[in-house]
Structure 1
């Protein structure tokens, strides 16, 4: 029964309607019962008053004459009325008549559960003389028959209560029938159809007869409209799925055959998906275990992991597409290669990456940059190269990586005569010879540049001893002033005037320190050339 109440609208609605009907019917039946009891008691009192009025003249004669027989006759007549239990006629302390009915105590006890009071309230009326309306001759007292009154009340109240309960039950049954036929049965029919409905087939619900224009008909129409839309959506989804499968196959072909390395990686740097180009660009064997392939990118960028993780964090947090160029060494024997790496977020915790080999472009850029900063005759750096190097050296001092350096400004003595007398080709040979002397004398960490003509500049990095700087300058002077015999037999003699200045401050001015070295060099020129001089501030 409980299962039916939980699963069936018919049983649940019938149970609720019947329960409400019984509750309301019981309430009104009890109310009617009590109301009828009150009315019947009032009617009984009215009837006893009417009886007294009927026998009032006879009683007044009996009392006036003090005729006990006549009073008894009046009493017997009144006792014949079912509403009267006892009669008492008395004048002062004398009783003319006193009669009562015998009642069964058991019946009285049974009837006492009704709301009629257990103790009867007698009806008393004064009787006046038949000759003088103001002269009181006696009193008559009627005690109501409570048992009879209770029986009357009980019969009428029960009858009305049964009628009300029957009416409530009939109304409840009518409501249940209406709910069943008009609401529940059409809904059950629609539910059964929905249970077996296959939307992709396009079959729609049948409209229940008689519900074409009401809410149930509207519900069926809405469901059929949803079914129609669902069929269209399923058809569109099917077409999109077919297109997606075709596109996925095309993408898979492109993915597998692309020259660009394509991969997916976690924010930790672990590669979770890749194509063949990714393995080729990183020189990874396809038969390598999966765990080693997953870490191939971070291993190839060993020493540059910080840049990689900064890219990953920025691309993830700022939702940006980022790119960086990385120089790596791959293969056996190791080969230097430049890779252009692009990172872009695709979902939570996963990024898409692209790898492109830009070694040729980077090599071309490096060659172009090298040509831009290299003197084409001597192979040393030119003025632009010196500017870049002095800027870099300044940054190194600011970081504390370099404590100080010596700057040597060199001008070749008698070089102009060589050029004028033997020609520019011979002058070029002399410049190349001098460059060879300088590069052989300097340390690998030192720097030399040709500023133009026969003017050179040297940077002795991370050097504090002035004696060491003087020693290097003297070696250059000694080797430069030695006689040079060219291939054509010409013997050339030149010299070198060198100005030296020491730089230890991070905020030095490039032009100022060159001026200091230039002042020292011209001091040598004035004093006889082919020597060195240290700038004194």
Structure 2
């Protein structure tokens, strides 16, 4: 029963209305009972007073004449009222008349302890001829039990009417609430309980409630159902799309030729695909953090950590090229690492093998700085070499060297006499001479035409530089076979300059050496001259 009351709003609302009506009815019924009981008591006393007033004149005459018969008529008349139990008329100590009912109603006990009401009324009777002369006294006893019973009966009747009225009103209100509110709500609840919103089912409007608040409630519920169905369909489509994308990504992740990985802020690999495993020749991903990448780029870890900081703190994609030294790998490789920030201080990235591209770039750079005829460095190669040496000196890593500027003598005559092909053969021959005489650590460049430059690296001994210059001149003076039994004769004029460990200017160094070479040519060719410089090598010599 409790469960039924708890789960049924119609029963709960009806019981609530009846309970409230009953409480209110009881309260007002009690108030009405007290009021009407008190009013009936007052009315009874007032009636007794009126009864005495009507018999007062007759009693006055009877007492004045001492007429007992008339006095008996007075008391008998008063005794006819059912609330009077005894009436007496006294004239002094003489009893003129008395009337007492023999059958007294059974005493009636009040249900409540009300205030006390008088049960005895006394009236002094004066002479009909002298209003100041007292002739007798009329005493009247009230049957209080009868009065209480009459008062209670009347009050209870009123209470019963009030209670009935409240119950009737409560019942009608309960019926109204049931018909107009709880019943439609229950219908909506039952339909909603049996509804399958995922199938797109909608609520039907309760009868005669389409345009009111309940109808609007049903419309709102139907709108929510429609939105829910739309959201479910959209979510279903998104899940399917997500599953497809996830499968595509997994396929891409597993079969891509690009290395894909996830990394923590320490540079440790957390997960990676098979392509990265093959590319770096590392162990298959077992789920544990791996320092394999850090080991492979040993000595370059700072660059990787700078990339990680930039990706996490600046929220941007960073990319760097790294050279992986031989170790676990069979050969030297170049890789490009791309990093971008993910969630929880983690990073995602890509690794591509750019070894072939790097080799092509190096080949292109080498081609850009190589003389296509002799295979030596060209003017651009010389400029880069001097710039590198200047940078090393500026950073506190001095590397002293001698610069030899060489110009072939009689080369123009060879070209003019035997043609450019013969001239090319002479240039090739002389480049081979330089390569055979100089060390592998030395630098050789052809600046164009018949002009060559040699850098004797890490050398500060001027005598040694002069000795090398002498060998070059000797070899340059030997006859050169240019075919068909023809030999070409050339020579070499050399300017020698020295660059110490201090900073230097490449343009100034070349200009000074060029002047020295010009002096060598002016001295009769196939000779060398030393440039004038302020800082001399270990064994200074001037021309």
1:55/1:310 Cα in 2 relative to 1: closer, same or farther (>3 Å)? farther
Note the C-alpha offset of 1:124.
6.2
Instruction: Work out the CA distance in 2 between the residues paired with 1:297 and 1:381.
Output: 36
Instruction: Work out the CA distance in 1 between the residues paired with 2:139 and 2:216.
Output: 76
5 Å-filtered alignment, 1:237-276, equals 256-263=254-261, 269-272=268-271, 274=273, 276=274
Tell me whether 361-370 or 121-130 shows the greater mean CA deviation. 121-130
Counterpart pick for 2:464 among 457, 475, 480: 475
Name 2:540's counterpart in structure 1.
Answer: none
Instruction: Work out the CA distance in 2 between the residues paired with 1:289 and 1:246.
Output: 24
5 Å-filtered alignment, 1:109-508, equals 110-111=109-110, 113-115=112-114, 117-118=115-116, 120=118, 127-132=125-130, 145-201=143-199, 205=203, 215-216=213-214, 219=217, 223=221, 256-263=254-261, 269-272=268-271, 274=273, 276-283=274-281, 288=284, 290-291=286-287, 300-308=296-304, 310-312=306-308, 314-315=310-311, 319-328=315-324, 334-344=330-340, 352-374=348-370, 384-385=380-381, 388=384, 402=396, 404-406=398-400, 408-412=402-406, 415=407, 417-420=409-412, 425=424, 426=426, 429-430=429-430, 433-434=433-434, 437=437, 439=439, 454=451, 456=453, 458=455, 470-471=460-461, 473-482=462-471, 483-484=474-475, 485=478, 487-488=480-481, 492=491, 494-503=493-502
C-alpha contact 1:409 1:521 (8 A) present in aligned 2: no
TM-score, with length taken from structure 1: 0.72
Name 1:37's counterpart in structure 2.
Answer: 37
CA RMSD of aligned residues (A): 5.0
Note the C-alpha offset of 1:475.
1.0
Name 2:81's counterpart in structure 1.
Answer: 81
Task: Give a deviation string over 1:420-466, Cα, whole Å, max 9, x none.
Answer: 56666546654664566554576xxxx777777757475967xxxxx
C-alpha contact 1:271 1:297 (8 A) present in aligned 2: no
C-alpha contact 2:398 2:501 (8 A) present in aligned 1: yes
1:366/1:252 Cα in 2 relative to 1: closer, same or farther (>3 Å)? same
C-alpha contact 1:434 1:480 (8 A) present in aligned 2: no
Task: Give a deviation string over 1:279-307, Cα, whole Å, max 9, x none.
Answer: 4433457xx46347966655555554554
Instruction: Work out the CA distance in 2 between the residues paired with 1:213 and 1:293.
Output: 66
1:410/1:62 Cα in 2 relative to 1: closer, same or farther (>3 Å)? farther
How many residue pairs end up in the alignment? 510
C-alpha contact 2:259 2:275 (8 A) present in aligned 1: yes
Task: Give a deviation string over 1:406-431, Cα, whole Å, max 9, x none.
Answer: 4655444xx35354566665466546
Structure 2 unaligned blocks of 5 or more: 416-422, 482-486, 537-543
TM-score, with length taken from structure 2: 0.71
Name 1:46's counterpart in structure 2.
Answer: 46
C-alpha contact 1:437 1:476 (8 A) present in aligned 2: no
1:36/1:428 Cα in 2 relative to 1: closer, same or farther (>3 Å)? same
Task: Give a deviation string over 1:346-398, Cα, whole Å, max 9, x none.
Answer: 76666554443333322222222233345557766655456556666666667
Instruction: Work out the CA distance in 1 between the residues paired with 2:306 and 2:73.
Output: 128
Task: Give a deviation string over 1:25-48, Cα, whole Å, max 9, x none.
Answer: 111111211221232233123212
Instruction: Work out the CA distance in 2 between the residues paired with 1:309 and 1:93.
Output: 134
C-alpha contact 1:499 1:517 (8 A) present in aligned 2: no
